[in-house]
Structure 1
Amino acid sequence: MNYLSTRGGMAPAPFCDILLEGLAPDGGLTLPERLPRLDATTLAAWQSLSYAELAARVLGLFIGDIPEDDLHGLTHAAYAPAVFPRIAPVKPLRDGLMLLGLSEGPTLAFKDMAMQFLGQVFEYVLVRRGQTLNILGATSGDTGSAAEYALRGKAGIAVFMLSPHGRMSAFQRAQMYSLQDGNIHNLALRGVFDECQDVVKTLAGDLDFKQRYRLGAVNSINWARIAAQVVYYVWGYLRVAPHPGGQVSFAVPSGNFGNILAGHIARQMGVPIHRLVLATNENNVLEEFFRTGLYRPRPASQTQATSSPSMDISRASNFERFVFDLVDRDPLRVTELMRSVHEQGQFDLSALRPQFEDRYGFVAGTSTHADRLRTIRQTLEETGRLVDPHTADGLKVAAQYLEPGIPMLVLETALPAKFAETIVEATGQWPAVPAGLEDLEQRPQRVEVLDCDAALVADYIRHHAL
């Protein structure tokens, strides 16, 4: 299995090479030359597999340069009971509507599901190649802590994580900044997430700097993240499909488009997914696209700070991979569209709108602060389950697309403890904090606050890189 770039300027490369590269050299995103296919017989045979075993099977379809036994060991280490005491449980709410519990890992957020595998496979490849890697990433709240917990203490790896200063919850900040491991570097930039992400892309696009300091990526621009997320769509499908070959829908709170892109990939591979329901908060650039066909990213000054802060994103890094499929995998067309965004601030694919749902199963909706509070409160009253604000966005939009006979799985994005202030506002009660984390916000924190300037971040990396 080799990989190419959405912009066509990269020679085909195997998985382990693109794992370490992150962004493609031409500024595009990597994708398999072709997607593997799953049929009903294969899916039925996987029904009884453990999560670690299923991950080895699914990831093995994308990874041709790691021996099968070694990959099996990596997935069993990533998804061990000590890491995930429960893994991706289905949590029923009412007839046809349920949560897929993706927040049972060490940082209480769905990002752990992919990041724990990345931590294992990065170290595996680097040790065998005798190389080091400096991971540069940006986070709106959950990616950073999941990456840092997965990579802390790993041989040959340093992590430089950019976060928007003052724009995450207190719990999210404490999870990241309280880590004292020498290979973890937290940089809080005075700006919004999109600006942090722009710094990452600027430095990753400087090929001399990238090569000299051996920069890699853990954001979902790294294909390995997407591949690892495909696993839980297959897992969720196998848990709730009404009958062999029966269809299932997924509702996904979406900011950077990586989580729902994995569902798109699973659907393209042949998993019988009826609808992919994209839920946004007030920063509804993606919802606007699926409603109108117009992709119109907003500047940082127009990106709202909301009560579902991990989705406060107005430029979705992974969206380019879906656009690649929309234009029939034409890299020249993708390059032209991305240039239009850079020069004109938008592109228009309204002529393709019928394909969004008819061909790819996408529908979308938006949720506001008032919607979140109401959904959190009603879900608790009606089901006894407490959900975080992002999952509430997913539930609110999912309700618009429920259909008889087709189970709807809403992807749980985080545990409520990470967003206590909003939970209190909605319900009047503080969410339970998992054992061992009661003092998290009181622990000493280690973070550098910088202006949002790529040159300043580059200088910091020069002084601290491996």
Structure 2
Amino acid sequence: MSYRSTRGAEGLGTFSDILLGGLAPDGGLAIPSTFKAFDSVELQSLSKMSYPKLASSILSCFVDDIDIKTLCSLCDSAYTVDTFGKREITPLVYLGEEENSDIFLLELSNGPTLAFKDIAMQMLGQFFEHVLEKRGSTLNILAATSGDTGSAAEYAMRERSNISVFMLSPEGRMSSFQKAQMYSLIDERIHNLVVPGTFDVCQDLVKGISSDLKFKSKYRIGSVNSINWGRISSQIVYYFYGYFRAIEQTGNCFMSPVSFSVPSGNFGNILSGYISKKMGLPIENLVLATNENNVLDEFFKTGSYRVRTSAETFKTSSPSMDISKASNFERFIFDVVGNDFGRVNSLWKELSVDGRFVIEDEESLRNIKYSGIVSGSSNHQNRLDTIKNIKDKYNRIIDPHTADGFFVARKNLKPKIPMVCLETALPIKFSKTVIEAIGETPQTPQKFFDIEKKPQKIKKIDDSVETLKNYIKEKSI
């Protein structure tokens, strides 16, 4: 296994090197030079594994410098009943049949912060601690959040003596519950920095710091955003697990296709699905669901990728997807254009100058089609109607982002092909919208009773790279 950058740099080091490194030195994203492709016999063997065992088997395709015994131990520590409440970790729940297609919900929100980000973040916590202890080093994690990454990262990294977290969040762009989860976590190594503007502003600050290689090296800056390949690879596991459970529950022939619907903002979650398909998982379609910030939907319908300014980025009732610059999209485009890093550089230069680029050549358009990704968007009323419909029809309450996924999934059903809708978060994290939809408050786990009444600690900063650097200099470990 070797890693390279989407911008051309080769020999980025081992898995542990890219785990700690975040952005590649040339500003691109780390990606494996090759991908393991499982055959049907190998997939049958994987299908019989527990979630931790499956995780170690999938991750061993990417982790080249941690022995398999240690990797299994790390996965066992990350994925426990105590942490996720259920032995299955990501249970698949059958809802019903629509248009001759079986509809499922893949529960991804049973972890410590009630969101799908916990699945990968718990694994990252294990990886970071192991690698840092082995190297006798420390890490200052710098990340941006639109809501759920922040709390998932902070809960996974807290009380680890060799890690501190600097988490940037957009002012006024998260739900009250999301803010309370993050800001009430009082820890000397957890720094919640609130920035005026959108998530994209926060993400640009992270990239601004990461592109200063001297500063990044001196202060040992790492990332937990999905620019980190460790996040992407850890998320691949639940696509395999969801596929295997769907085949079991439907009784369909092994290797028959299954579709997945994925609420999408930064393109990390659905990229993991795309990589799963490249690795041999029989995925029919990956349904990309956006909200009113429909940059990705526009691309898959027109071939034009046009980012929005902060003023053009809508504040919606599915706020974790209020993103107009999808970081992981670069990894997808790199694959679509045949690993042509020169073209990727040209496209991203065009994006920085003109705010858009267009894919028009036949080969790339054909690769996009073969990816199996289809897309759609929804609005506030669609979310309300979908939340109410799922409650009335299946007695299940879902959050607004998951509702985006269901809404677009229903427009892309195919007879006899199961549709697995990925859960984004538990509905209590977005109770205001849920109450508007169904007139009742979703259940709050006991550990989060009165969380919004707890004291909160934040630091407001401006959207300046220099301001952020000065704060990191003062507080880093």
Normalization by structure 1: what TM-score? 0.99
1:336 aligns with 2:346: yes
What's 1:2 paired with?
2
Note the C-alpha offset of 1:10: 3.8
What's 2:121 paired with?
115
1:233 aligns with 2:239: yes
Note the C-alpha offset of 1:439: 1.1
Check whether the contact 1:356–1:362 (CA below 8 A) recurs between aligned residues. no
Check whether the contact 1:10–1:25 (CA below 8 A) recurs between aligned residues. no
Which deviates further from its counterpart, 18-27 or 449-458?
449-458
1:98 aligns with 2:141: no
Check whether the contact 2:93–2:105 (CA below 8 A) recurs between aligned residues. yes
1:441 aligns with 2:456: no
Q: How does 1:411-450 map to 2 (within 5 A)?
A: 411-450=422-461
Classify the secondary structure of the residue corresponding to 1:414.
coil
The residue type paired with residue 187 of structure 1 is L
The residue type paired with residue 188 of structure 1 is V
Classify the secondary structure of the residue corresponding to 1:421.
helix
1:267 aligns with 2:269: no
* Structure 1 gap segments, 5+ residues each: none
The residue type paired with residue 321 of structure 1 is R
CA distance in structure 1 between the aligned counterparts of 2:12 and 2:21, rounded to whole angstroms: 13
Check whether the contact 2:2–2:11 (CA below 8 A) recurs between aligned residues. no
Q: How many residues align?
A: 466
CA distance in structure 2 between the aligned counterparts of 1:65 and 1:362, rounded to whole angstroms: 33
The residue type paired with residue 215 of structure 1 is I
CA distance in structure 2 between the aligned counterparts of 1:123 and 1:263, rounded to whole angstroms: 27
What's 2:314 paired with?
304
1:79-113 CA distances to partner (integer Å, 9 max, x unpaired)? Answer: 01111112111122212111100000000000000
1:385 aligns with 2:396: yes
CA distance in structure 2 between the aligned counterparts of 1:10 and 1:214, rounded to whole angstroms: 21
The residue type paired with residue 51 of structure 2 is Y
The residue type paired with residue 127 of structure 1 is E
Classify the secondary structure of the residue corresponding to 2:161.
coil
Of residues 135, 151, 154, the one that matches 1:148 is: 154
What's 2:43 paired with?
43
What's 1:84 paired with?
84
Note the C-alpha offset of 1:413: 0.4
What's 1:403 paired with?
414
1:199 aligns with 2:209: no
1:224-275 CA distances to partner (integer Å, 9 max, x unpaired)? Answer: 0000000000100111122211110000000000000000000011100000
Classify the secondary structure of the residue corresponding to 1:460.
helix
1:423-451 CA distances to partner (integer Å, 9 max, x unpaired)? Answer: 01001111110112111101111110112
CA distance in structure 2 between the aligned counterparts of 1:350 and 1:159, rounded to whole angstroms: 41
1:107-148 CA distances to partner (integer Å, 9 max, x unpaired)? Answer: 000000000000011000000000111000000000000000
Which deviates further from its counterpart, 60-69 or 285-294?
60-69
Note the C-alpha offset of 1:350: 3.4
Check whether the contact 2:157–2:163 (CA below 8 A) recurs between aligned residues. yes
1:182 aligns with 2:192: no
Which deviates further from its counterpart, 229-238 or 351-360?
351-360
CA distance in structure 2 between the aligned counterparts of 1:48 and 1:443, rounded to whole angstroms: 44
What's 1:167 paired with?
173
CA distance in structure 2 between the aligned counterparts of 1:354 and 1:210, rounded to whole angstroms: 37
1:360-384 CA distances to partner (integer Å, 9 max, x unpaired)? Answer: 1010000000000000001100100
Q: How does 1:13-92 map to 2 (within 5 A)?
A: 13-86=13-86, 87-92=89-94
The residue type paired with residue 146 of structure 2 is S
Classify the secondary structure of the residue corresponding to 2:11.
coil
Check whether the contact 1:188–1:448 (CA below 8 A) recurs between aligned residues. yes
1:169-203 CA distances to partner (integer Å, 9 max, x unpaired)? Answer: 00000000111122111001011100000000000
Check whether the contact 1:7–1:335 (CA below 8 A) recurs between aligned residues. yes
CA distance in structure 1 between the aligned counterparts of 2:9 and 2:32, rounded to whole angstroms: 14
Normalization by structure 2: what TM-score? 0.96
Which deviates further from its counterpart, 19-28 or 451-460?
451-460
Q: Which stretches of structure 1, 4 residues or longer, exceed 4 Å deviation after superposition? A: none
Classify the secondary structure of the residue corresponding to 2:235.
helix
Which deviates further from its counterpart, 310-319 or 402-411?
402-411
CA distance in structure 2 between the aligned counterparts of 1:88 and 1:263, rounded to whole angstroms: 15
Check whether the contact 1:92–1:99 (CA below 8 A) recurs between aligned residues. yes
CA distance in structure 2 between the aligned counterparts of 1:115 and 1:10, rounded to whole angstroms: 27
Classify the secondary structure of the residue corresponding to 2:455.
coil
Note the C-alpha offset of 1:12: 3.9
Of residues 125, 135, 142, the one that matches 1:129 is: 135
Check whether the contact 1:97–1:407 (CA below 8 A) recurs between aligned residues. yes
Check whether the contact 1:356–1:363 (CA below 8 A) recurs between aligned residues. no
- Identity rate, percent: 52
